[in-house]
Structure 1
Amino acid sequence: MVNSASCMCTDLQSSLVVTWDGVGRDTCVQAALNFVVENVGPLLENASDHTRVATVNVSLSPHTSLLGDPVILNASPVVHPFVLSRRSSHLWDLFITGVPQLDFEEVALYSLTIYAKDSHEATASQTIFVQIEDVNEPPAFTGSLAREDQVTEIYITEDTAPGTIIYKAAAKDAEDAVLEYFISPESSSFTIDSTGTISTATVLDFERDMRSFSLVIKVVDPGGLFATGNLKIFLINVNNKDPTLTCSLFNIENGVLSVTSTNSTLHHEVNIILDEEIPIGKMIAMCQAADEDNLGDLTFGLETGDDYFAIDKEKGTVVTTSRLDVEKTGFASALSFSIKACDGDQRCAIIPVTTYINGINDNSPFCDQYLIRYTGKEEISKDTIIAKLACHDLDKPPDTIHYAPRSGPVGSGQLFEQVPNAENFIQVTVDIEDENDETPVCTPYLYKAVISDGVVAGTNVNGLKLNCHDRDSRDFEMRFEIASGNENLHFKLDPSRGTNTPKLIVKNPFNFESGADLQQQYHLVVHVIDDNLKSGKAIKPKTGTAVIDIYVQRISTLPPPTSSEVKNCRI
């Protein structure tokens, strides 16, 4: 009987069965379990999921079967993206699962051991190496631009200076290549440099330019692969502009109105002319203001060193507030002020104005002497100067004074003539002689009246007034006195001087009952004398006469008839 024994001898690929024959010889027979791995080659790191890496073909001895499927053991690294998938009973495919993704920069070489076991406990294994080849991958943004479905928003003020950095785009490249950055549109008022720094390129203006900018930021590697990100920049309005002021200013010269229009952008002073004595409250300017910043209401103001003008803070109308009088002591004929329009931050537009006040003829001339009486000899020679007038005018500039006769025999062909000289004096010469040789005359000469004995003191007798004139005296140069017939002083003339029409007044009432008065008929002789001169110079006065007959009627007694040729009155 031959004894026999068996043992296992394995290598990397199969199991060996060793047996003993009867003569003591040993033999080693290789079992049929075997692997054939095909198409194991380099794998691109960007290979897609389910890419076939290799094919594993398993050989079995007759009457044996594989226990389960081949498996991957002792992989390095342990976590790998490979899996075996049965294609047939003896054929398996090695696929990429995609988890984790192949990345040359992370793992450049995978080591996989494929192990199998058959129904006779025979085993086989084989180690394969999968080489990952580097592939140029596109760069990728980091930070907010990395989110492709989102726009990164940036807010900057409109007064941001050119060259100001507003954002830093950051990107990475798997191959650590030098990256380039681009911005579009290129004429977007912004620039980007080689480091991804974005800066302002021009002066920005919220009111006049675009108020937002949509930009595409592009990062490119040397191979031309790129990534893009979306950036939107919004401008914030700031109060960086002065308001603009437009005014219509009124010239009023010699009563004629004209308009001067200007605005603050012209930056020059405006001169206007106003007549003096225009009404207080007169509007001399209308203004309007605008502000591009549009950040609040505008108010008007007036910068002035005096109180001659004021402005409505809301409406912008400028009016006079005080009398303009160039003749007033200390009044300046040139008045300066500035019209302002300011916003809430006191950014202002200004129009300086100088107002020249035009003097008008608003003052009457006046003379040093208004009443001149010439007293001379009875005979005055021709061309004798009898009066010299000195008159003046307060208006500025002074007006030329013209002397013209208003009354009296003055002028060409008259008794007197005026000869003006350069000093605005008037010389009056006499052609004929004249003296006080006329007697005052009253018209009518005789007055009659009837009154009752019960008349009270102060009563104007029947409204009686004398009417007297003197050819060589003025009406106010006469005085009056009752020369005779005024027994018991019952009557008086009022006023007794300074007029030519004095009234006859009852001074003392009558008293017949007591016997104090017995006379009923009064014959009053009135003297009219032309010596009531203010100058007080001695003259040769002339006296005229008027007669007044008064009949005093007792209450129980009828009066006698009166003549129709005289004035009849009854109280």
Structure 2
Amino acid sequence: MKDRVIKTMKSMFLLLIFLGVVSGRRTQLLKGLPETSTVEENAAAGVLVCTFNVTVSPLSSQGVAILPTIINSNPLTEAFNIEPKGDFQYRVVTTGNPVLDYETMPKSIPLQIFVEDTTGRTDLNTLTVRITDKNERPVFQGNMATQTVTIYVLEGTPPECIYSVHAADPEKAELKYSLLPTSVPFSVLDSGAIFTTKKFDYETDPHSYLLNITVTDPDGLNSTKTVNINIININDESPYFTTKQRIFRIPEEQTPGTVVANITAKDPDDEDSPSRLFYSIQSSDRYFSINPSTGVLQVTGRIDRDALPLRLHPNISLTVHVEDSPSGGHTSEMQITIIINDINDNSPDCSPSTFGREVNENTPAGTPLLDLRNYCEDIDVDPSNNQFNFTGLSGFGSNNFALESTVSGRLMMTESIDLENQGVEVYSLTVRVQDIAYPHYSNIIYIYIRIKPVNEFFPVFNNLSHEFNVPEITKVGSSIGRVNARDKDWPPSVITYSIVAGGGTRDYTNIFWISPTKGDVKILARLDYETTQKHFLTVQASDGEKTETVSVTVNVLEVNDEEPVCSPNFYSFQIPVSLAVGTNINGFRIQCQDRDSDPRSFRYFINEGNVNNHFTFSPSAGSNISRLILASRFDYESGLDTNWIYTLRVYVTDDNLLSARDRATHPTKTGTVTLSIRVIPNPTTVVTTTPGFTVVTEKENLYSASAWYVPFVITVGGLLLLGLLGYLGLLLATWLRTRCPPARRADGTARIKVPEKKKPKKEVVVTMTKLNTVFDGEARDPVTGKMYEFNTQSGARRWKKSNELLQPVPAKQGTASTSDYSGQGMDRAEAPSKKESSEKRKEKTMETQLAAKPSAGQSEQPGHSKITKAEDGV
């Protein structure tokens, strides 16, 4: 900001000088001006534009007072500067800032140059600078303008466009693109698109390419940038075997684990890194196995050349399979043949010549490690030439090993090795195998012995046995205890715990679970003291090789968690209003059971429905059996009692004999029983109804399905009685027709003529109406488990049919409708005892009144009455 102010003040000062010159004295001091010069666009700093001289007056003692200065206020004049050349000679040069651009700047720039000498003379003249166009090189745009672009191409990709180069020409000319070297499998179009011309193979083609992309304008000016193209490897090649050998020979009687061959393969996709391949034997073979990671083929079964089938066919063919992915990828197969030899025509040879063995620490002295004779043979035909000895045991740690004899070649332990004390893990030995006969051919056998740590100690539990006390109401998933074991081996082995025996019930294989790593024992199902008081478990601790077990006893502690279960838990019955106080109602008794409570611990009380306390239980406590007793009489006449149906809700608890301490640990459990009691008025009680209308209420006792003989006898007797009455009625009707012809009424109907007596009798016309009970409730019988329906007002019940509607269609008045109710609806507990008389099993109440009015269409005749018999389903 400060520089801008100074420049502004300088410009104003020069402008004032210029105005003074114009208005004052002006002398020709600038020689060589005015002048017109040309400068190419984008000229660098210091390019000469023009030279001129300043002529000073002889009277001027010091020459120039104000040096030649460009006084234009246009910022473009900053692109030029005046430099002294000596002896009052000056030159105008470019500053390079701003850069002269033919396309964006004026084509002609007038520079006004002012000068003043010491006598006060001034001069002002103009230098016209013309900018000429210069053909510039094309310029790359985008990422290529600032950096080297790297492009990645997957091998196997078909020829396609992989990148687009963008460049621009300042003169807006059409550009062309080319690339070098031309031998690369790439091409560039005139549009700048770079294409691949082949499908790359990472394994055979170069992994990267450097392309020089050149963009050229029509005048031949160009610019070049480098593009780096990298070929990305993909898994598109199948592995191939590098093992050239296809036939292997081994001697018979090789011990299991003997290395037969080291099959190797390579994946072309893994050129820059070790191949990770997976080996397997496709053909089934009982003699050999192959290490899936290393390809080492080993003996797994005994090979006996003298036994069948090797006696006839000593050649064993195997198909070795290699793939580059464990989940399926590119594969290759190789067929190898293993020949089992029992002869040797060569110098003593050991196959393999390098042995690796692992020996457990603390292996006792005298233990054989390697029988070299089993691996070395002389296949000479002459027995005198196939004998050889083993000598020259040497190498690091050879003092711990020795050959049993030169004949046997058996490598033995001479000292026990303790890995923790000696600290040496690998011993390298050499043994020379040499012919006994001349010329004493020999071979060197290399033996590498690795000392392997031994799991010497069994896990030890901190207790010889464990005992856990667990309340039976413990939540499922809760931890009930913990076992712990230690391992003295070093490094310590990881111990895992498991339940190997015990802990099962009838419903669960095992209701306990143990944490494999921590030893916490948890329950998987609810414990039940009433079923099992103790559980015996066997817990095993394992360090991977050795195991130890410990017994665990789980004591289930009793808790009052069972509710009293009473039978029956629902009961419905009827009692007469005149029942005597103290009577055991209908002989009803309740019997309760509780699996975790004493039979003397029950207490009974009626919680709901006992209006005016008419009912009580005896005994009310101290027994699992109690009877329902009528405690007080019913009083309906005074209005004290108004309910004819009592629904009692009885609570049965199991805590009345427990102490305060026991109640704290054994919470109270409560069972419920529901009783429905219907009070029946006395048969002699007359309920006043409409005058002249007689209501006969008939109540019949129904019997349970188990008392089949009762309804059978009643039905048979009823049929016989109906037959007899029908026969008598037929005789009476015949007699009346012959003796008393019917009188005609006004409407033409016949009328029975009643013989006159001193006191006229009432003729009784009986109309039978059988009401169909409406069953509006359902319940389940606690004894049979069957569903039954009941009427909430009358208490009538019947067994429910699966395809029957809850509300049957009511019968019409005056029509004898057939009821489906057949007596099966009574609980077994309601079945009448054998001691009850037939009169108590069937009660009838007859209430007779005179009819108030005759029905429509009938004449009013004295002495006639109408009796309606209502049969209920109760």
**Same-fold status (TM-score > 0.5):** no
The structure that is strand-richer by fraction is 1
Rg: which structure is higher? 1
- What TM-score, normalized to structure 1? 0.43
- What TM-score, normalized to structure 2? 0.29
The structure that is helix-richer by fraction is 2
